[in-house]
């Protein structure tokens, strides 16, 4: 369930004293990228005793090398989306060791490449794989049918770019989703989940991001997050905290009622706030029959 929320403050807002004053933005809030905000939130959660579960993120976060490295430093495994342009060392191909130290200046640490020893984009690597490398994997029961796709997973090392900061990265998974009817892969993921993980489990973890989208949809449409019409920094974050608290209450009621198997039968007997936005609830029901919004609208109707 959602546990943290923060507005992204663009750089031009962060530097505008007048607008900051009107919106009541605290002086200690400075410009931070979205990946930096996410890391700050996770570090705070870990400091408060949160467990180290697998981190999921889309390509907007996954392409950030520093973001992925910090997750590893925090002991957090991840499955993050990346773009087709990300460059990796293919299986069995690695750069040469850094040059021997001559005794002058800083010791060299950058791995060496040669004309015949080069990394490849994940798109080129995907196209080089034989058809037998791909398997059809199902990961979840959708509202109308079982969701499945064609996947391949190989062990790679991120190439780290061509700058002097490049290092030989540890091996991790490159997961490729490529529908048979498409000319190019649909999605790419990098993951530090264990090397012995089954492909089915890796795919299931990667596709758990649908849960985040469901949370966001429920929060916006039926728990008030999208209804805020103020212009204050403090007011919005108070509003978001109340929306999250309401969501937490409904999750608790759902679990008490017996989870997804018996929710429809038992939930109507519990006292919960009625949802008045039937249109929003009906839109959410198109995805999963036992969504929070479906449960509440059904119990209200009963």
Q: What is the pLDDT of residues 218-265, one digit of tens each?
A: 888 888 888 888 889 999 999 999 999 999 998 899 888 876 543 333
CB hemisphere CA count around 206 (13 angstroms) = 32
CA 36 to chain centre: 14
- Cβ distance 148 to 180 under 8 Å? no
Across the chain, mean pLDDT equals 82
* pLDDT for residue 134: 96
- Cβ distance 154 to 91 under 8 Å? yes
Other CB atoms within 10 Å distance of the CB of residue 293: 25
CB proximity list for 284: less than 8 A, separation 6 or greater: 214, 217, 218, 221, 222, 291, 292, 293, 294
How far is the C-alpha of 215 from the C-alpha of 222, rounded, in Å?
Answer: 11
- Examine the pLDDT at 201 and tell me if it is beyond 80: yes
- Examine the pLDDT at 210 and tell me if it is beyond 70: yes
- Cβ distance 265 to 246 under 8 Å? no
Average pLDDT over residues 80-95: 89
Per DSSP, helices labelled H in 176-232 are: 199-206, 209-222
- Examine the pLDDT at 88 and tell me if it is beyond 90: yes
Strand, helix or coil for residue 90: coil
Q: What are phi and psi of 172, to 5 degrees?
A: -150, 175
- In the chain the beta strands, taken as DSSP E runs, fall at 55-57, 78-82, 87-89, 120-121, 135-141, 146-158, 171-177, 187-191
Per-residue tokens: 36: 């930096």
């Amino acid at each position: 369930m959602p546990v943290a929320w923060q507005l992204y403050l663009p750089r031009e807002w962060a530097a505008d004293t007048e607008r900051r004053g009107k919106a009541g933005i605290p002086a200690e809030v400075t410009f931070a990228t979205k990946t930096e905000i996410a890391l700050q939130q996770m570090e705070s959660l870990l400091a408060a005793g949160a467990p180290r579960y697998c981190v999921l993120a889309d390509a907007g976060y996954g392409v950030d090398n520093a973001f992925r490295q910090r997750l590893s430093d925090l002991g957090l495994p991840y499955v993050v989306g990346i773009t087709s342009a990300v460059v990796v060392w293919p299986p069995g191909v690695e750069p040469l060791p850094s040059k021997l130290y001559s005794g002058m200046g800083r010791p060299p640490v950058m791995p060496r490449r040669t004309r015949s020893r080069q990394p490849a984009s994940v798109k080129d690597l995907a196209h080089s794989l034989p058809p037998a490398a791909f398997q059809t994997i199902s990961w979840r029961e959708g509202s109308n049918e079982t969701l499945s796709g064609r996947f391949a997973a190989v062990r790679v090392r991120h190439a780290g770019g061509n700058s002097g900061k490049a290092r030989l990265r540890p091996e991790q998974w490159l997961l490729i989703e490529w529908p048979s009817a498409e000319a190019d892969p649909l999605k790419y993921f990098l993951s530090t989940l264990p090397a012995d993980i089954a492909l089915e489990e890796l795919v299931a973890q990667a596709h758990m991001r649908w849960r985040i989208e469901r949370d966001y949809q429920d929060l916006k449409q039926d728990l008030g997050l999208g209804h805020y019409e103020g212009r204050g920094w403090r007011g919005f974050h108070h509003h978001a905290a109340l929306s999250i608290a309401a969501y937490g209450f409904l999750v608790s009621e759902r679990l008490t009622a017996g989870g997804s198997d018996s929710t429809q039968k038992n939930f109507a007997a519990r006292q919960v706030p009625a949802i008045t936005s039937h249109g929003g609830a009906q839109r959410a029901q198109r995805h999963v029959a036992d969504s929070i919004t479906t449960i509440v609208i059904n119990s209200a109707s009963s």
